Structure 1
Amino acid sequence: MAVAAVILLGLGLMVLVGTPEAAEPDLHAPLPVDPNALDLRWDRERGELVIAYGPIDLPAGASHEDIVQIGGVVGTLPADGWLHGYRVEITDAHGRRVPQLVLHHINIIATDRRELFSEIMQRVGAAGHETGPVKLPRLFGLPVRQGERLLVTAMMHNPTSESYEGVRVVTRMPFTPRGTWLPPIPVFPFYLDVMPPASKHAYDLPPGRSEKSWEGRPAVSGRIIGVGGHLHKYGVALRFEDVTAGKVLWEAAPILDEDGNVIGMPMRMFLGRLGIPLRKDHVYRLTAVYDNPTGETIPDGAMGTLGGVMIPARNETWPGVDRRHPDYLLDWELIQDTSYGHAGRGEGSATAGGHGHHHH
């Protein structure tokens, strides 16, 4: 997009939504884990926040069950500013590149913020072995504050014939510090799943054609500027609807390889329309459509997740987290399970901010 067009887009969005804010997080609230265990630092020279997860040894041919997984680790943000996306690099103890194939998934979660459609913690990003860089235009950024905590959880395996020792998953997040002459427009990631929040998100896939849906209301109104999603094999479509208005906002079919395996989902940006409206007095529905030709039920064979980026409306404030809410407490319980994010247990996926098994 040309620079002039980006500037005009930004001005248009500022007129529509003003300057959105988030509730002041309680940065002194105790967490069930050490808030400084994660290697999280600010690389000023490269303009990035750098998160290093590991080390972990990966024997050749090891499944995720053969490996002693690290589990969730928390770090504290070193400065105020804005995040513009992320990319993943994997290296061994000698600094040599390791194939991204060893990454089953990684999730980045803001422990001091809630999700748009539920009381679980906010999903900031996620990646799998096939995930490329996720980058927002410099005009937009997720606002973060010094002292906020990020939780990272990952699952590793090694389908290759080579063993790797001291493996680290390094996530690099382009970062603009507070005080810049042109501050980005604050945007917020959101996540939806066809299963209830803070629950097992994979489900048994029945034979034939089937649909599974979940409905909810957003905590704030605003405008969605982009969405993407995730389905498993035999997925046909993922559909996001405004139930109250009777309107389909986004629907996409998965991208398949020659063997019919899902290798991605199309991402859709709504920048040319200055985003699409999202209203907190409306009900929204996410539906996953599958067609299982095997004639048998596939245990934990299906998922349906959507991730997106939105800008809250003028005078709306992204609500704070309720640390006593049952969904928040259950979310912590699930995340501390080292199988979190696996098809049988944890999270789904999202785009540009969200969360799970794999990210498109």
Structure 2
Amino acid sequence: MYILLLPLLAAPLTARPFDSLPPARTRMAYEPAGRTVTITVGPFRLPAMGHDHDMMMMMMDGWAEDRSDPVTWPADTWLQGFQLRVVDGAGRELSRRLLHHWAVIDLDRRELVYPVAHRVMGGGAESGDVRLPPTVGVPLPAGHRLQAFFMWHNDSDQDLEAVYLKLTITWLPGNLQPRPVPVLPFWADVDFHPGQGGANRYDVPPGGSTRVAEFTVPVSGHLLVLSGHLHDYGASIRVEDALTGEILARVTARRDSDGAVREVSRELLGLWGPGPHFEANRRYLIVVVYDNPTGAPLTGVMGVIGGLFQPDDLKAWPAVDATNPDYQRDFAGFLRASTVAMANRTRMLP
């Protein structure tokens, strides 16, 4: 897959002017006895941005993300959950809010909604860790290639040195009997443009707005869990049947008095029943609602849902196609974004 994509990035990747900043190291620890894989990426230097909204927008306009090296998954497994930590060089835990958002992609499986590399896990500053019950699991075969991408956001007034991202993934053996029910993470963006990064954002006028995007899924199945990612003053995200208008699921933001989003709810739709059923190729809507009492436009907001999907037939999940233009643009955008991140950090070094 890298061979197909590198020609799209020849200039930034082969003639990078940012070599004064050494790349962060990626280490993977496979612990069969504890049934964990821990991926550690770092160190990073995070310059203080204070509460400089303009600086954050400048970073996002360049879609400045960092990345890990690709790692090869070591065994046939069922993923059970993850714990994400941000730590310093001594292993002391730092605030998770240093991460604006993050994702781990599987280069060898496609997404449910889009023909791009599968986002196995991810979230925003307001997202928590995940632990699945042992009756369900995310199938991940040995040999699949994973890579992490993430955006830092140090809104404090203090530079942070030697910051590390530490992701611990828990799993069950692939030959477990009885077999867990196969589920796969999925996501959908109300303003998705493959590979364009900052274009996946929009502005909210004074008084608020509702934004809608249509999507389909190529395989039928049940929605078991839903959560989302919203910026400040975000209110809710819901999924509707485009034909009937029925609300299939809805998540809401928990906000501080100043509008800052601290958490987006996680709806366990399959806890007491099968969860809403999605039909292949039927039209659905993602509806994102923002309030805006500030009297000025809110710039650069996002609206993304993510959750767990139980396909009726796992074998019907479409195979990944690394020659698909959207796949190539999407992954090229990830790589280009991390090059921008290196440039931004270099410019802010003393």
Q: TM-score range by the shorter chain?
A: 0.7 to 0.9
Aligned to 1:84: 80
Query: Structure 1 pair 308/101, CA: closer, same or farther in 2 (3 Å)?
Result: closer
Contact 2:80 2:131 in 1 (8 A): yes
Q: Could you tell me which amino acid in structure 1 is paired with residue 142 of structure 2?
A: Q
State the alpha-carbon separation in 2 of the partners of residues 285 and 160 from structure 1. 37
State the partner residue of 1:252.
Answer: 251
Residue correspondence of structure 1 range 48-67 to structure 2 within 5 A: 48-59=36-47
Secondary structure, in 3 states, of the residue corresponding to 2:265? coil
**CA deviation string 1:99-126 (max 9, x = no partner):** 3333232211111111111112111111
State the identity as a percent: 32
Of stretches 243-252 and 132-141 in structure 1, the one that deviates more from structure 2 is 243-252
The equivalent residue for 1:119 is 115
- CA–CA distance in 2 between the matches of 1:314 and 1:104? 35
CA contact (8 A) 1:110 1:121 kept: yes
State the partner residue of 1:288: 288
Going from structure 1 to structure 2, the CA distance change for 1:28 and 1:80 (only over 3 Å counts) comes to farther
CA deviations on 1:50-107 (whole Å, 9 max, x unpaired) are: 1112221235567775xx9643532111111111121112222333333333323221
**Counterparts of 1:240-319 in structure 2 under 5 Å?**
240-271=239-270, 272-300=272-300, 302-314=301-313, 316-319=315-318
Residue identity matched to 1:299:
T
- The Cα shift of 1:183 comes to 2.5
Q: Which amino acid aligns with 1:43?
A: E
Q: Report the CA distance shift for 1:339/1:210 in structure 2 as closer, same or farther (over 3 A).
A: farther
Query: Does structure 2 retain, via aligned residues, the 8 Å contact 1:72–1:335?
Result: no
Q: Name the stretch that deviates more: 124-133 or 185-194.
A: 124-133
For the residues of structure 2 that align with 1:246 and 1:99, how far apart are their CA atoms?
40
Q: Distance in 1 between matches of 2:205 and 2:135?
A: 44
Q: Which has the higher helix share?
A: 2
Q: For 1:185 and 1:44, how far apart are their aligned partners in 2?
A: 22
* Alignment-derived partner of residue 228 in structure 1: 227
Q: Distance in 2 between matches of 1:341 and 1:115?
A: 25
- Larger CA deviation: 107-116 vs 119-128: 119-128
* Structure 1 stretch displaced more, 210-219 or 285-294: 285-294
SS at match of 1:126: strand
Alpha-carbon spacing, 1:325–1:84, altered in 2? closer, same or farther (3 Å): same
Gap regions ≥5 residues in structure 1: 1-26, 343-360
Kindly indicate whether the alpha-carbon contact (under 8 Å) linking 2:218 and 2:281 is maintained by their aligned counterparts in 1.
Answer: no
Equivalent residue number for residue 19 of structure 2: none
Of 87-96 and 143-152, more deviation after overlay is shown by 87-96
Structure 2 equivalent of residue 41 of structure 1: 29
Q: 1:214 to 1:128 in 2, by over 3 A?
A: closer
Gaps of 5+ in 2: 7-12, 14-24, 342-350
What is the total number of aligned residue pairs between the two structures?
A: 310
Q: Which residue of 2 aligns with 1:358?
A: none
Paired letter, 1:297 = P
Residue of structure 1 in register with 2:179 after alignment: 183
What TM-score, normalized to structure 1? 0.77
Partner of 1:331: 330
Instruction: Give the Cα–Cα distance (whole angstroms) in 2 for the partners of residues 171 and 129 of structure 1.
Output: 15
Q: What per-residue deviation string (whole Å, max 9, x for no partner) do you get for residues 206-239 of structure 1?
A: 2223221111210100111111112222323212
Q: Which segment is superposed worse, 155-164 or 291-300?
A: 155-164
Question: CA 1:203/1:61 → structure 2, altered by over 3 Å: closer, same or farther?
Answer: closer
Shift of 1:30: 6.0
RMSD between aligned alpha carbons?
Answer: 2.8
The answer to whether the 8 Å contact 1:79/1:146 transfers is: yes
2:208 aligned counterpart, secondary structure: strand
1:147 positional shift: 0.9
Name the residue aligned to 2:71: 75
Q: Please name the residue that 1:353 is paired with.
A: none
Q: Which residue of 1 aligns with 2:145?
A: 149
SS in 2 for 1:273: coil
1:101 is the counterpart of 2:97: yes
- Paired residue for 2:165? 169
Partners of 1:228 and 1:306 lie apart in 2 by 6
Q: Match for residue 11 of structure 1?
A: none
